[in-house]
């Protein structure tokens, strides 16, 4: 492992320009080492790992804990404030669960997200895609985030889970607060309470009147007498609803922006649409939808390079930085749709690897294939050359993407 010469006493700071261009921060920090102490916008200092090989190993390291009780206790020790119980219930899902509980929760949803099961959804995803494109095909200019990149994954996850599509504005507004820098503010607490109430009511409705959807199947799931509790069902619904649309929204948005900024790559896919699945992997590597991994806490001191991270510290792996590690990916700041992006960390690594990855890949493949076919002359509108991103250290996602269609 490379040495970190910045020293444990050095604390980097995230400025307001971080959200629009985290890559410039990561390049600057990388020059001084592979791991840094960073003061986040909530004023809490966390450790951030930039290196691909080290980050990949840490994502699967059992000395880094993700149990919600431990995360909440560590957060309370930093802020002096207890997290609202309803926010804790929302976060008490398999992504924030260590073994053996993680395997128990995960196997109840794994069957719905295998590549084979997801492939069954292809005709319906294609149908939704075509309808959305038909809806704005006659326009000269549209915001692709609002018109396509957002409603496609939202519609798919709503149908899959059995969530009313009419409620999308509410749960998307809550999601923006809960994955953004304001999650520990009063607004974030209110969003957690409102989303907890909404999902509790939804779970109760599925228990009373099960339907042909994933949430109903989770309500009824029984593994040798082991069933999900009401709290576990609410937390699972929260994870699948939020992660099931937010990451794919930003995969489509970030990938489209990257592709249109590199016209020769756009033309390469026009000439060879069969290259879209490989291109999706490159979009994930080049500017993936998740900036940093979710939080982990060191259960014991961990040595990274010549730096020892003490026990009881928050650690993040900067996924978009690891995916541009020049030791792993040659010319990492260049988009190459025919490049070898295999092994990227956009979906994480280890037992917490994204369960929805097959669905995200399928949706992105259909979305980009359709965009190329329907709008071969697609270009960025003038306003898109200075893009703005969500104010989140977790999510890497555009607020809008104006494009010209013809």
Complete DSSP assignment for 270-302: HH-GGGHHHHHHHHHHHH-SBSBPPPEEESS-E
Q: Higher confidence at residue 261 or residue 106?
A: 261
Q: What is the mean pLDDT of residues 256-264?
A: 96
Which region among 124-133, 138-147, 191-200 has the lowest average model confidence (pLDDT)?
191-200
Q: Which helix (H) or strand (E) segment is 367 a member of?
A: helix 357-374
Q: What is the mean pLDDT of residues 328-338?
A: 94
Half-sphere exposure of 123 (CA within 13 A, CB side): 1
Indicate whether 231 pLDDT > 50.
yes
Closest to 286 measured CA to CA, from 326, 320, 330, 246: 320
Q: What distance in Å separates the CA atoms of residue 199 and residue 196, rounded to the nearest whole number?
A: 5
CB 74 within 8 A of CB 297: yes
Whether 59 contacts 29, CB under 8 Å? no
Report which of 288, 251, 386, 321 is spatially closest to residue 24, judged by C-alpha positions: 321
Token pair belonging to 217: 């199947």
Q: What is the DSSP letter of 147?
A: I
* CB 96 within 8 Å of CB 294: yes
C-alpha–C-alpha distance, residues 392 and 179, integer Å: 6
| Radius of gyration for the alpha carbons in the chain, expressed in angstroms and rounded | 21
User: Among the listed ranges 227-236, 325-334, 395-404, which one has the minimum average pLDDT value?
Assistant: 227-236
Is 260 in contact with 403 (CB distance < 8 Å)? yes
The yes-or-no verdict on residue 357 having pLDDT over 50 is yes
pLDDT tens column, 378-404: 999 987 788 999 999 999 999 999 999
- Mean pLDDT computed over 266-273: 96
Residue spans of the domains in the chain: they are: 11-404
User: How large is the average pLDDT for residues 84-94?
Assistant: 72
Residue predicted with more confidence, 294 or 5: 294
Q: What is the pLDDT of residue 312?
A: 95
Over range 322-346, report the average pLDDT.
Answer: 93
Which of the four pLDDT bands, split at 50, 70 and 90, describes residue 252? very high
Nearest in space to 354 (alpha carbons), one of 237, 254, 239, 215: 239
Q: What does the pLDDT look like over 154-187, one tens digit per residue? A: 999 999 999 988 998 888 888 888 877 666 667 7
Rounded mean pLDDT of the chain? 90
Residue range 363-375, pLDDT digits in tens:
999 999 999 999 9
Query: What does each C-alpha distance from 404 to 197, 380, 397 come to in angstroms?
Result: 41, 6, 20
Mean pLDDT of 119-125: 92
At which residue do the structure tokens 């971080």 appear? 18
11-404: CATH number: 1.10.630.10
Residue 9 predicted with pLDDT over 80: no
> Residue 332 has which token pair?
């990492």
Convert the pLDDT of each residue in 57-82 to its tens digit.
999 999 999 988 888 888 888 877 66
Residue 193, pLDDT above cutoff 70: yes
Task: Please report the pLDDT score of residue 168 as a whole number.
Answer: 86
Distance CA 155, CA 133 (A): 14
* Residue whose C-alpha is closest to residue 321's, from 347, 282, 285: 285
The whole-number pLDDT of residue 6 equals: 41
Residue 34's pLDDT is what?
A: 95
Longest Cα–Cα distance in the chain:
60
pLDDT for the residue numbered 117? 77
Give the confidence band of 85 by pLDDT, cuts at 50, 70, 90. Answer: low
Please tell me the predicted confidence (pLDDT) of residue 4. Answer: 42
Question: Rounded to whole angstroms, how far apart are CA atoms 360 and 111?
Answer: 16
CA distances from 183 to 84, 188, 297, 347 (A): 12, 4, 19, 22
């Amino acid at each position: 492992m490379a040495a970190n010469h910045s020293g444990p006493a050095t604390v980097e700071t995230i400025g307001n320009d971080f959200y629009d261009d985290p890559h410039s921060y990561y390049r600057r920090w990388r020059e001084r080492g592979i791991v840094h102490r960073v003061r986040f916008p909530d004023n809490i200092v966390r450790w951030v790992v930039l290196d691909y090989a080290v980050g990949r190993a840490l994502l699967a390291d059992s000395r880094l804990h993700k149990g919600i009780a431990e995360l909440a206790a560590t957060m309370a020790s930093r802020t002096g404030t207890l997290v609202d119980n309803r926010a804790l219930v929302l976060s008490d899902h398999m992504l924030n669960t260590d073994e053996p509980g993680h395997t128990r929760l995960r196997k109840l949803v794994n069957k719905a997200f295998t590549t084979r099961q997801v492939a069954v959804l292809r005709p319906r995803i294609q149908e939704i895609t075509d309808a959305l494109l038909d809806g704005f095909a006659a326009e000269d200019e549209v915001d692709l985030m609002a018109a396509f990149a957002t409603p496609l994954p939202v519609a798919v996850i709503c149908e899959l889970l059995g969530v009313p599509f009419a409620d999308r504005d509410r749960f998307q507004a809550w999601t923006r607060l809960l994955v953004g820098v304001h999650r520990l503010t009063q607004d974030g607490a209110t969003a957690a309470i409102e989303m907890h109430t909404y999902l509790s009511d939804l779970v109760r409705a599925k228990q009373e009147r099960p339907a042909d959807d994933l949430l109903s199947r989770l309500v009824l799931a029984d593994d040798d007498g082991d069933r999900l509790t009401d709290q576990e069902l609410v937390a699972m619904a929260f994870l699948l609803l939020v992660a099931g649309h937010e990451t794919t929204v930003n995969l489509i948005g970030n990938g489209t922006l990257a592709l249109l900024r590199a016209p020769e790559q756009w033309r390469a896919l026009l000439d060879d649409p069969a290259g879209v699945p490989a291109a999706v992997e490159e979009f994930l590597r080049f500017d993936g939808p998740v900036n940093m991994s979710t939080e982990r806490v060191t259960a014991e001191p961990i040595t990274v390079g010549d730096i020892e991270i003490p026990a009881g510290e928050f650690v993040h792996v900067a996924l978009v930085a690891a995916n541009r590690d020049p030791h792993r990916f040659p010319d990492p700041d260049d988009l190459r749709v025919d490049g070898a992006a295999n092994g990227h960390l956009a979906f994480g690594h280890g037992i917490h690897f994204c369960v929805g990855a097959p669905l995200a890949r399928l949706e992105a493949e259909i979305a980009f294939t359709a965009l190329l076919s329907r709008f071969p002359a697609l270009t960025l509108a003038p306003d898109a050359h200075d893009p703005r991103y969500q104010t989140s250290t977790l999510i890497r996602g555009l607020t809008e993407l104006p494009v010209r269609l013809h």
